[in-house]
Amino acid sequence: MSDCLAPLISCRYSTLYLVPLLFCLLIISPSFLYADEEFSFDLDEFEKKPLEWGGYAELKWEHMDINQGSAFARLNLFEDSISTLDRFTGGLQIDGHYAKGIISFNWLFNASAQQDDLGWSDMADIYEAYVSIKPAPVFTAGVGKKMYRWGKGYAWNPVGFVNRAKDPNNPEESLEGYITAEIDLIKSFSGPLRTAAFTTVILPVWRDVNEDFGELDNVNLAAKLYFLYRDTDIDLTWYTGNSRSTRYGLDFSGNLASNFEIHGELAYVPSQKSVILQDDGSSLIRKTEAFSYLVGLRYLSENDITSIIEYYHNDAGYTEEEMARFFQLVEDGESRFLASGSDVLLERARDMSQKGYAKPQPGRNYLYARFIQKEPFDILYFSPGLTTIVNLEDNSYSISPEIVYTGFTNWELRLRFSYLNGGIFTEYGEKMNSNKLELRVRSFF
Site for other proteins in 324-353 (CB under 8 A): none
Distance from C-alpha of 387 to C-alpha of 403, rounded to nearest angstrom: 11
Indicate the helix (H) or strand (E) that contains 20. Answer: helix 6-28
Asked if 44 is part of the footprint of other proteins (rule: CB under 8 A), the reply reads no
Distance of CA 372 to the CA centre of its chain: 18
Least distance (Å) from other proteins to the CB of residue 269? 22
Binding positions for other proteins, 288-327, rule CB under 8 A: 298, 300, 306
Q: Which of 16, 27, 99, 437 binds other proteins (CB under 8 A)?
A: 99
Instruction: Tell me the backbone φ, ψ of residue 250, rounded to 5 degrees.
Output: -140, 135
- Amino acid 342 reads S
Nearer to other proteins, 258 or 282 (CB): 258
Does residue 377 touch other proteins according to CB under 8 A? no
**Interface residue with other proteins, options 14, 83, 121, 259 (CB under 8 A):** 259
How far is the C-alpha of 70 from the C-alpha of 441, rounded, in Å?
31
263 binds other proteins (CB under 8 A): yes
In the range 187-246, which residues lie near other proteins by CB under 8 A?
187-188, 194-195, 197, 199, 226, 228, 231, 233
If binding means CB under 8 A, how many residues of this protein chain bind other proteins?
Answer: 73
Site for other proteins in 116-175 (CB under 8 A): 134, 136-138, 140, 147-151, 154, 171-175
- Rounded Cα–Cα distance for residues 300 and 306 (Å): 4
Which lies closer to other proteins via its Cβ, residue 1 or residue 136? 136
Minimal distance, residue 82 CB to other proteins, in Å = 33
Instruction: Please say which residue, 10 or 443, places its beta carbon nearer to other proteins.
Output: 443
Q: Is 255 in the site for other proteins (CB under 8 A)?
A: yes
Determine which residue in the list 258, 279, 282, 377 makes contact with other proteins, applying CB under 8 A.
258
Q: Are 247 and 269 in contact (CB under 8 A)?
A: yes
Closer to other proteins at the Cβ: 174 or 365? 174
Minimal distance, residue 261 CB to other proteins, in Å:
5
Binds other proteins by CB under 8 A, chosen from 56, 109, 229, 238: 56
Q: Is the dihedral of CA 141, 146, 151, 154 positive or negative?
A: negative
Q: How far apart (Å, rounded) are the C-alpha atoms in residues 220 and 401?
A: 41
Helical axes 320-340 vs 344-352, angle rounded to 10°: 150
Residues 163 and 148 sit within 8 Å (Cβ to Cβ): yes
Q: Cα separations (Å) of 53 from 92, 97, 105, 143?
A: 13, 6, 11, 20
Query: Per-residue x/- mask for other proteins, residues 384 to 413, rule CB under 8 A?
Result: ----------------------xx-xxxx-
Q: Give which of 246, 200, 202 is closest to 225, Cα–Cα.
A: 200
